[in-house]
Chains A and B, each alone.
Chain A
Amino acid sequence: MFGLKADWSLDVQDRYFTIEDYEGAQPRWCTGCGDHGVLTAVQKVCREAQLAPEKIVNVSGIGCSSRLPHYMKTYGFHGLHGRALPFASGIKARRPDLDVWVSTGDGDCFSIGGCHWIHGIRYNIDMVVLVFDNAIYGLTKNQTSPTTPKDYGTSTHPSGSFLPSMNPLTITLGITNVSFVAQVVDWNPLLVYETIKMAHAHRGTSFVRIIQRCPVFVEDIHKGMVDDPSQILLLKHENGIPTNEAVERIYPNQVEHDPSDWMGAMAIARDESKVPCGLLYHDPAAPVYDDWSNVGMGMSDEEKIAGVNKALDSFSI
């Protein structure tokens, strides 16, 4: 009845959260690291959605990006190399009330956590997965990652890495039951914010690859992209990531892409001459694993005991 309750009182929120309510420890990432901007965007999205901090769990693996939970004033789970997704899946399994966010990196997700990446996408559990892809192992100091460009010199491949870099977009798109794939560059705060906001609004696993600068080890990999916006391909669509005039003025290469068009998404992902930025694929109807894992919750002790007795009786002699 026009926002009024039966007792004629107004529906006023009793708690209002500001950015400070989500701010944890002072970030210890390097100056100029792309992670700072992503953290700010995550905090803004939380505030925008007015998420109760105690209902948020930030889960991570190991690496620079995986320090993010420490910088949020929410519950956090800073786990083990590569295992963020199965930890997060377990956290969400029987707690649909929790808002689960995963921060992971190119080494953490695409290499040591590769198996969990594939299956995590397939489970399509309701969570946001932010992959901070800086194309290098940072925290362990400058080793080749799956997305390090071919011939790029690192501590483990001083004469240049042997293999062509992995394409995480085509792989993710190729996994059955994928429901949300977006890519963004860390140096456009508006796009980062809008992308994460949309990822959070999606029910299912929202996979966001963030091309992220590492000024300490691989500054030159991303410098070209930052200096020459024509290397970016901006994806536009009414169902895609919202853009504005300012953004559109920066990136001369743009394409209309319907995120429900999987073949189109795959074609864009395959073309490595440009770095696509926007929502590649979105299927809000993909089955969500939570719908199975939440079944049976809230049974009373009496019901449970009756269940145990039933099970025991089937073995009675």
Chain B
Amino acid sequence: MTKQATAQKSNVAEISAGKPKRIEEHIIEVVSDSGEGAQKCGQTFGTVSGKMGNGVWTVEIIPAEIQPPARSKEGASGVRIRLGSKYVTNMGDQADLVVAFNEQVLYNRIVNGAFRKGTVVLLENKWAEDPQPAIREQYAAALADFKERGLVIHELPFEKECLKIVKNARKGKNMFVLGMLCRIYSRDTQRALDEIAKAFARKGEKVIKPNHELFKAGYQYAAENLEYHYEVLPEKEGVQSPTIVTNGNTAIGLGVLASGMDCLAMYPITPATSASHYLADVFHLTGGFMHQAEDEIAAAAYAVGSSYSGKTAVTITSGPGMALKTEILGLAVMCEVPLVVVNVQRGGPATGQPTKIEQGDLLSAIYSMPGDAPKIVMAPATISECFHFVITARKLAEAFRTPVIILTDANLATAVQPYDRPDPQAEWLAAPIDQSEWDKNIPPYDWDDETGLSPRPIPGQPGGEYVLTGLAHTKRSKVAYDSMSNQIGCNMRSRKISAVAATLQRPEIYGDKEGDILVVSWGSTMGAVQEAVDRMRADGHKVSNVHLRFLHPFEKDLKEIFSKFKKVMTVELNYSDEPDMPLVSDATRRYAQLANILRHQTLVDIDCWSIVQAAPLQPGVICEAVLGRLKKLN
């Protein structure tokens, strides 16, 4: 520690002398116009807290446009941080404390149910004296409205305070706010100063210094002017084991590196692209190549071509891109070309809601191709699983000679969390391609009768020459002109999926193995669902959860697990009819996507509850939905 840093620390320590109130957890939001740095503020706060040993979940609040009009309701940009003593698995319910750079952006959060009565709002007050009368009026009207809604508003002069240090407060306000938050939540200031220095390291001392000053000014301001002062003690101080902090898209990118893949082919699409951005930056570390194709179809075709040539390939996209890639994926199924496809789901159909979460692509992932096109579909539940599932998917794709679709979503893509640092293994890496002589007597699809599996000749192997064709073909890859070849080909490709299913385990049950309601979930909702289950169980309700990671084929024994509960229901983020909607009957009700498949696979009368409101599920909302069902049951 430098002498200067020591001086800073002691200065700050004096201010912190007051005794903070101890709390278990808080949900904090920083909301601003786009480009005001709220996300950097929040991520730094999250990193500092993670390093202190706290449970942290941060999630970006992203507007659809790059530069939405200033002070617009739709343009809210920012970050939510859930800070806890214990491990945190989801974004939680309504916020406890909000910092807002203008009053209009708060409306976006209000309509999204982000606040409750009593939520504390620290609001920039410069708008009260804005030269434009219209803005002054808007501000006054909003203030009155917020009070009516029960928000606890504190009008604060962020801008004025920042202007004492920098000429352009727009560029510095976020660090001032970071300082305020670090005081309010008793964060380790030295760690925060270090993180700031790291964030601006490339820009040099010239930029680090004013940002440090802004941070300290914010800290001091909060100490002198705000009554809020909390302590969120971690269960264990500091980082216990090697830990990394990333969002889910970066985790996907790291998984691609660690799986030894050779090639990523992509086309820009929100919210998937940041995974490709990350790989574009680091793929050289493992010798990989990222191809930005002319369109989604070409991206998939490039990846399939590369895989056909023996190199391992991945393509990363979102719903509309999946729709375009459909024909290529059908070819990969038909011709048994291994391929990893990552679909970072967003709201649909069509362009839908590009930056928002939905789990709407499950059915299309499994069924969208013409004809029978069996493939593997899996969904990570956590950010850490985003990493590990890529490695598993590559291995499955190669072992079973099939495309594997990984379904993540906009929530996993942008949420940031600390998790165990993976320890890369040689066995995670793709093997070098085989160029040895191929026994001419072995056909290119030498299907094993029981499993449908077959070894694959790679171009360059003498004796293995064959012509891959998307037409129905024989095991010699000859175009099938007879009636039985197509049947045999379909049998064999389907048999592989049965073989995958035979390798899967029984899923774990969260809670008791029997009871009133079993909530079945998949994908990014696991944390919120299990927190809801915990709360309901604490209140004495007999509710459990099974979270599925393999969606096609399913994990083992589901029907038997379901049989121990009075009612089985899914909780999902895609569309379903509620039973009491107009014209909806048992015969016409449209079920949520997982419920739909589970019903026909298990013949159990599975219920569902799902919403499509462009936001991750809150545990409280899940409780309400499940308890509603429980009430009808008893």
Contacts and interface: CB of A to CB of B under 8 A. Distances in A.
Interface stretch (A241-249, A269-277, A303-311): A303-311
A205 to B, nearest CB: 14
Nearest to A24: B467
B579 interface: no
Given A24-B467, A52-B462, A317-B47, A293 B289 contact: yes
B305 A89 contact: yes
Contacts of B246: 315
B309 interface: yes
B467 A308 contact: no
Given A75-B467, A303-B287, A86 B297 contact: yes
A115 interface: yes
Contacts of B51: 317
A295 interface: yes
A220 to B, nearest CB: 31
Contacts, number: 204
B263 interface: yes
Interface in A288-317: 292-299, 301, 303-305, 307-312, 315-317
B54 to A, nearest CB: 11
Contacts of B422: 312
A98 B424 contact: no
B263 A93 contact: yes
A293 B311 CA distance: 12
Interface string B291-319: 10111011101111111111101000000
A42 B90 CA distance: 61
A89 B287 contact: no
A36 B282 CA distance: 48
Contact of A75 (B263, B282, B465): B465
B421 interface: yes
B465 A53 contact: yes
A308 B391 CA distance: 13
Contact of A312 (B288, B424, B469): B424
Interface residues of A, number: 59
A112 to B, nearest CB: 10
Interface stretch (B13-21, B176-184, B237-245, B586-594): B237-245
A58 B589 CA distance: 50
A73 B468 CA distance: 12
A93 B289 contact: yes
A76 B327 contact: no
Given A97-B460, A301-B426, A119 B298 contact: yes
Nearest to A58: B467
A100 to B, nearest CB: 9
Nearest to A293: B289
Interface in B469-484: 469-471, 478-479
Contact of A94 (B289, B328, B465): B289
Contact of A308 (B285, B463, B469): B285
A168 interface: no
B76 interface: no
Interface string B198-237: 0000000000000000000000000000000000000000
B309 A95 contact: yes
Nearest to A62: B470
Contacts of B327: 80, 83
Nearest to B427: A301
Contacts of B299: 86
Interface string B596-612: 00000000000000000
A83 B309 contact: no
B306 A91 contact: yes
Nearest to A55: B460
B370 to A, nearest CB: 12
B404 interface: no
A264 B479 CA distance: 45
B464 interface: yes
A92 B313 CA distance: 13
Given A78-B471, A317-B47, A93 B291 contact: yes
A57 interface: yes
Contacts of B307: 90
Given A86-B293, A90-B313, A317 B418 contact: yes
Contacts of B331: 79-80
A175 to B, nearest CB: 12
B287 A296 contact: yes
A303 B429 CA distance: 11
Contacts of A76: 465-469
Interface string B142-159: 000000000000000000
B239 A98 contact: no
Query: Quick one: which of B291, B327, B461, B467 has the most chain A CB within 10 A?
Result: B467
A278 interface: no
A70 interface: yes
A314 to B, nearest CB: 8
Contacts of B429: 301, 304-305
Contacts of B257: 304, 307-308, 311
Contacts of B245: 315, 317
A304 B47 CA distance: 27
Contacts of A98: 309, 459-460
Contacts of B418: 317
B245 to A, nearest CB: 5
B29 to A, nearest CB: 22
A178 interface: no
B196 interface: no
Nearest to B327: A80
A253 interface: no
7 contacts: A75-B464, A90-B308, A93-B311, A295-B284, A304-B429, A307-B257, A312-B254
Interface of A: 24-25, 52-55, 57-59, 69-70, 72-80, 83, 85-95, 97-98, 115-116, 118-119, 292-299, 301, 303-305, 307-312, 315-317
Given A83-B301, A90-B306, 15 more contacts: A52-B462, A72-B467, A76-B465, A83-B328, A86-B299, A86-B301, A88-B305, A93-B302, A119-B294, A296-B288, A297-B287, A298-B287, A305-B429, A311-B254, A317-B51
